[in-house]
Structure formats: C-alpha cells, structure tokens
Chains A and B, each alone.
Chain A
Amino acid sequence: MRKVTFPHMGESYRAFKMLLNDLGNEVILPPRPSLKTLNLGVQYTPEFACFPLKVLMGTYLETIEKGANILVTTGGVGPCRAGLYAELHKKILHDLGLSIEMIVFEPPRLYPFNFIRNVHKLNSGRLSIKAIVDRIKKGWRKLQALDNAEKLTHIIRPRELKKGTTTQKYRQVLEWIDNANTTSDIIEAEAAALEELHKIPQDLGRLVVKVGIVGEIYVLLEPTANLEIEETLGNLGVEVERSMFLTGWARDNTWKETVEGMTVKDAAHPYLPELIGGHGRDSIGNTVLYAKRKFDGIIQLAPFTCIPEIVARTILPAVSKDYNIPVLTFFLDEQTGKAGMNTRLEAFVDLMKRKKFKKQHQANIWLPSEATN
C-alpha cells in the first residue's frame, strides 16, 4: 500500500494533505517536530549538518514508523546544501535498510519533465490533467488562506487586550480552513477566519515596535525550529513582519520572479551582488527594505552552520550601520534553549522600545543623559 508523507513546515501541511488526498493518495500526516523527532534526527545525520536536515530526518523516521513509504520533498540546484538533502536522506534511509521511495520536486522552470513525472507518480487516482491543475490551484488557494491568517495574527497579537487570545483564536480558525475542501469553501472559511481574528479586543494606543524577521526558510516557517519566536515577540508587544511565506517563496522559485523578488535582489546588490544560494541575499535585501520602511529592528534566524546565512551575517553589521537599524541574529540548533532566547529577545525589545519612545517624545522629555552632551 502506498502511503505518502512530506516534511512538516508550519501549518502548510494542511494544504499538502488536502492536495495529496485529492490526487488519490493515502497520507500519513507528519507530526509536529518534538524532542523525539530531534533525537531521532540527530542520531542518524552528520554532526555539523544544518538543523533542518536533522529535523527532516527525524520527521521521516517518525512517519516511516507509522507506515509511510513514499516521501515527497523538494530538491534544488545549489549552491545551498538544502538541494542535496533529499539525496542524503535517501542514502541514509536506504543504508538503514528502510525501503522507501523518494519523490523529489526540482524547480519546474529548469526541470519541467521531472515535475510532470513526479505529478504522474503521485496521481494515484488517475485524474485528468485538467482535474490535476484544478486540485493544485485549490491547494495553492488554501496555502494562501493559511498564510493570510498567519499574517494577521502577527499584527493583532501585540495589541490584544488579554494575552493569549490571538493564539487561541488562531488555533480555532485554522481548523475552519482545514475543514474547507472546495475552493469556494476555502474562500469563505478564510473570510470568516479573518473576521474572527479582527474581532479580538485590541488596545490601539499601545506602543508597538515593528520588527522584520529575515533568514533561512525552514527556521522561519517552522515554529518548533524557531521556538515560536513570533508568538514570543507578539506577547512582548512587537509587531512582526516575516520576510518569507511559503506562497511567496514558491512563486519566486517555481514559476517566475515577482516584482517583490526583484526589489529584494536590487536592494541587496550594493552589499552582495552574487546569488549565494539559500536565502543569504534575501536576508540582506529584506533588511535594507525593512530599514527603508522605518522598522525598529531586524531579527535574523539561521540554522547553525548555515553557509549562506553566515555570509549574510558577516555583511549585516555594515547594513545595520549604514541604515541605523539594530540587527539581532540567532543561530538555531537542537541545543537552543527557549529561556536563553527569551532573555535576549526581551533585552532587544526593551532597547528598541526605549529608542522609539525617546524619538516619539523628543520634544517633551528631557533626559538627564542628554544634559552632558
């Protein structure tokens, strides 16, 4: 029996589950990464491989335990290591004696036949091409709905009157979107979800600082990998704007480059004119763009030993200085503790708030420290 699974990345699994079900496959849902996932992953992967490789390995082992035998994942053309994940995972799993098939989606722009072959392999229901296109469009719409709901929580969470309401409501509306199975249902569920989130009582007069989050895609999108940084920041009164969502990234990398993608490239050009793989150049470009939009700070998230982000991190201090914007970097791995991260975040947020407060009240407040200047 063919049982299909795929990596866990934020809430996107809801859309993928629907799409694969629609194509007539039995889906084994990837569990949310836990300590067990990490332990399994770390055990079988190279020591200083980057964090996502370890998490994915753990996820695969967990789902194989549940009976999955077809793993669907993405490839890549480098020079980031992520493009070789599938190859390495396959080798390690086969070496462990597990007979699994790996279906790897390479960028369709470069490898159109690979894409068609893979879709054909996954098309267990033997649907017509038109039906497949419809199903993919529907899955895409669901991904967009999930992304839109998440974006809204980032704006509402720092302003909520009672802490924790947004997270609670968000969990609830996710189920609504999850249960919608036709395009019109998805659109309806999305509208209802956004409305429900808007109903959360908010304090609009609160001092809210705006932070842009840049970095590597997996640790940005998977809350377990970044220790729910967006929620933590929201609770500290920070409005978060994440530079990357699955829909935006997928559009840029599979079909054609969007205007936003081009702007990021141009913004990064003075600092890093070369595509270095992964999201190194995006991190720099987005930092520049956020700074131009008068954000209060930037947080860079990267997996430990991530090559492109190390290059970006080396250059970011120059960007930070040129645009006068604070940048905080977290290199995340299985050893990162939530308490340590929270302490650093609190200090960072305090500094940003102080700076913003001072700027807003410059005329009215006379700080003793300025008397000496």
Chain B
Amino acid sequence: MHRIIILLILNINSVGSVLNVLRIGIPSALFYYVYYPMWKTFLEELDVQVVTSGDTTRQLLNYGVREALADACVPVKVFFGHVMALIDQVDYLFIPRIVCLNKKTVYCPKFLGLPDMIRYGIANMPPIIDVRIDARDHKDKLFAAYYKVGKILGKTPRQITKALLKAKTSQYKFQKLLRSGLQPIEAIDNISTGKKQKPLDNKGELKFAVVGYPYIIHDQYISVGIINKLHKMNINVVTSDNISPFTLKLQRHGSSKRLFWTFSERTLRATRYFAGRKDIDGIIHLSAFGCGPDSILDRFIQLNNQSSTIPFMSLVIDEQSGEAGVTTRLEAFVDMVKRKKGAYRNA
C-alpha cells in the first residue's frame, strides 16, 4: 500500500515537471518555523508545487558561510545555505519582506533587508517573490500582500481569497498544535502527513523552558539538537512557541521601553512568563553569536527577572559550536538544578 502511494507521489511529481507546474522554493530557515504551514497551503491552493530545502546540514551551512558576509549571524548564514540548495530546483523563491504584523513591533533589520541581501549576495538567483507585508501600511496589509502574490502567479481574486482562507485555517491548526505542546517541526510533520503525533508525556523529573528565536531553537543542526538532548536527560521541555499569544500579551512590561523586534519582544515576555511559574526548574536562553537584538535581549532578560529564583543559563551558539561543548554545559546546568532541587527537598 505504502509503495503504491509513494509511486503515485513520484508520478505526480514527474507529471508535474512535464506539465511545467510552477515550482516555488521556501528555504527551511528563519520564518519557515513560524509560517511554513500557511505559505505551503496558500501556494499549493494556487496550483504551485512547493519545494523546501530540508534540514540544515554541514554542507548547507558551509555554502552559507561561504556566500554570506562573515559578520552576519549564524541564522542568516544558514538561510543563505538553504537558498543555495534551492537555486537550481525552482522557478521562484518565496522570501516575503515581513516588516510588521502586529502594528507594534517590527522584525530584525536583517529580516527587512533579507530579499535584497539574497538578491545581491548570491549570483544567478531565480526571481524572488518579495512582497512587503506591513500591517501598519494600508496598501501592504496581509490580504493585500497575499493578493499580490496571487496576481504574480496569474490567479483570479476568487481563487486567491479561497486559498488565503485555507491557508489561515492551516496556520490556525498549526498554532493549536504548538499550544498543545508540540514543537514546530513536529507540528509541521503532523499537518503535512496527517499523522497524529502526541506530545511527549510528562514523564521527566524536571521541566525546562528553552527560550529564544524559533529558527535557532528548532534548527536541529545549529542548536546541536538541544531539545532532544534534554529529553534524553529525562527532562521535559517547553519553548516560547508553546505559549499562546494571549498569555504572552498578558505579561507585564513594567515601565521600560518596548523592544523593537517581534521575536525578541516575544522571547522577553515568554521568559517573564516562565520565570513566574512554579513548575519550571530551569530556563535556558539559546542565542546565536552575532545576533544584534540578542545582545540587548539577553541582558534585559537577566536584569528584568532578578527576583525569580529559577536557575538561568544563556547559551550562545555559532557555526563552530561543537556537540561536546554544548553537552558539557547542559550537563553541568542540569546537575546544578538537580542538586538545588534535592537540597530543598531534604531541607
């Protein structure tokens, strides 16, 4: 049965290339971990074949390190690598310029200039679909932006509206799965294969919160599989992606100035939330070397939550990070947390 399905899929693929179905590439990095289900549904509803670049590998990262500027942060280098992997396979690359979605915070400057960096940073690029999405600007609102994408693909307004509705439904599903405790990669698998994967049971003796940007935490390669490592040490993990947007909104800010960047703001609020909870035994902030917003965010996290007694570790990774180094630090942190917990229990 499985074989037949696989054959069928292969068949559709080959028919597709014969019929010249448009292929659009979505690099599996940065926004992939947040909006992929939505983009995929939207594009597929418009009769486009979506191609992704798969997991990050050593080779992809090497491509990225070679093409991107040495001073860029690791996630951007990884993004360059993913784009390189897609160049020869697709007719278009889908890299929307997401400026602002909530009318309050914008994204990191590197995200705002991302389509331009890719266009001028890599030779022989296929055309890039770089619609601007800015909720503050009337003509660049979410619907208008997707409408433009649909127009580029030559679709009618009705088709586009229908596709966008479906896309929003699948994004809603995706977010629901995230709130149920699944991590983005598992949730994406869940949606695309239709298999019901349950979040891991709360069997572990400790519960850690891993905070940071989704494209760092959930990229198995650059995060050196930190979540799996914690699972293996018998620790339950929640990430900032598992909190509902409403809960995040409720987190108090104090009098300090709002951070400008959506992901950083989210991380700051998530940390605040975790720091005030009783069932969390440790918080790990995972950040990438050279990340501009993180240099400020990390210090804000530390200074804002000084009243919390939950152990906190800030872990910086880069393209040189070794498996062993990260493991050692994690083990040391876990040991320390266990000791602390044990001491309190005996007292």
Is the Cβ of A91 less than 8 Å from the Cβ of B299? yes
A369 to B68 alpha-carbon distance, docked (Å): 34
Among A95, A272, A275, A331, contact of B71 (Cβ-Cβ < 8 Å):
A331
User: Does A119 belong to the interface (CB within 8 Å)?
Assistant: no
Chain B, Cβ-Cβ closest to A317: B120
Contacts of A79 in B (CB 8 A): 106-109, 112, 260-261
A57 to B113 alpha-carbon distance, docked (Å): 29
Contacts of A341 in B (CB 8 A): none
Is the Cβ of B120 less than 8 Å from the Cβ of A307? no
User: Does A65 belong to the interface (CB within 8 Å)?
Assistant: no
Is the Cβ of B132 less than 8 Å from the Cβ of A274? yes
For B, the interface residue count at a CB cutoff of 8 angstroms equals 35
Is the Cβ of A81 less than 8 Å from the Cβ of B292? yes
Contacts of A278 in B (CB 8 A): 109
User: Does B303 belong to the interface (CB within 8 Å)?
Assistant: yes
The B interface, classified by DSSP as helix, strand, loop or mixed, is mixed
> Separation in Å of the A18 CB from the closest CB of chain B?
30
User: Does B225 belong to the interface (CB within 8 Å)?
Assistant: no
User: Does B91 belong to the interface (CB within 8 Å)?
Assistant: no
> Separation in Å of the A135 CB from the closest CB of chain B?
28
Contacts of B153 in A (CB 8 A): none
Contacts of A61 in B (CB 8 A): none
User: Does B296 belong to the interface (CB within 8 Å)?
Assistant: yes
Report A44-72 residues with CB < 8 Å from chain B CB.
46-50
> Separation in Å of the B216 CB from the closest CB of chain A?
15
Among B99, B295, B298, contact of A81 (Cβ-Cβ < 8 Å):
B295
Contacts of A81 in B (CB 8 A): 292-293, 295-296
A206 to B292 alpha-carbon distance, docked (Å): 44
User: Does B69 belong to the interface (CB within 8 Å)?
Assistant: yes
Is the Cβ of A276 less than 8 Å from the Cβ of B109? yes
> Separation in Å of the A120 CB from the closest CB of chain B?
20
User: Does A311 belong to the interface (CB within 8 Å)?
Assistant: yes
A77 to B68 alpha-carbon distance, docked (Å): 28
Contacts of A155 in B (CB 8 A): none
User: Does B290 belong to the interface (CB within 8 Å)?
Assistant: yes
Is the Cβ of B109 less than 8 Å from the Cβ of A305? no
Chain A, Cβ-Cβ closest to B116: A272
Most A C-beta atoms less than 10 A away, residue of B120, B121, B259: B120
User: Does B252 belong to the interface (CB within 8 Å)?
Assistant: no
> Separation in Å of the B251 CB from the closest CB of chain A?
17
Is the Cβ of A271 less than 8 Å from the Cβ of B260? no
Among A47, A88, A308, A315, contact of B300 (Cβ-Cβ < 8 Å):
A88
User: Does A204 belong to the interface (CB within 8 Å)?
Assistant: no
User: Does B289 belong to the interface (CB within 8 Å)?
Assistant: yes
Is the Cβ of A78 less than 8 Å from the Cβ of B261? yes
Is the Cβ of B112 less than 8 Å from the Cβ of A314? no
Bits for B250-267, please: 1 = Cβ < 8 Å to A, else 0: 000000110111000000
Query: Would you give 8 A-B contacts (Cβ < 8 Å), ordered by A?
Result: A79-B260, A84-B260, A86-B257, A87-B256, A91-B299, A92-B299, A92-B303, A271-B120
Which residues of A does B touch, CB under 8 Å? 46-50, 75, 77-81, 83-84, 86-88, 91-92, 95, 271-278, 280, 304-308, 310-315, 317-318, 331
Which residues of B does A touch, CB under 8 Å? 68-69, 71-72, 97, 99, 106-110, 112-113, 116-117, 120-121, 132, 256-257, 259-261, 289-296, 298-300, 303
8 nearest A-B pairs in the assembled complex, by CB-CB distance: A78-B260, A311-B113, A318-B120, A307-B292, A276-B109, A49-B295, A307-B109, A314-B117
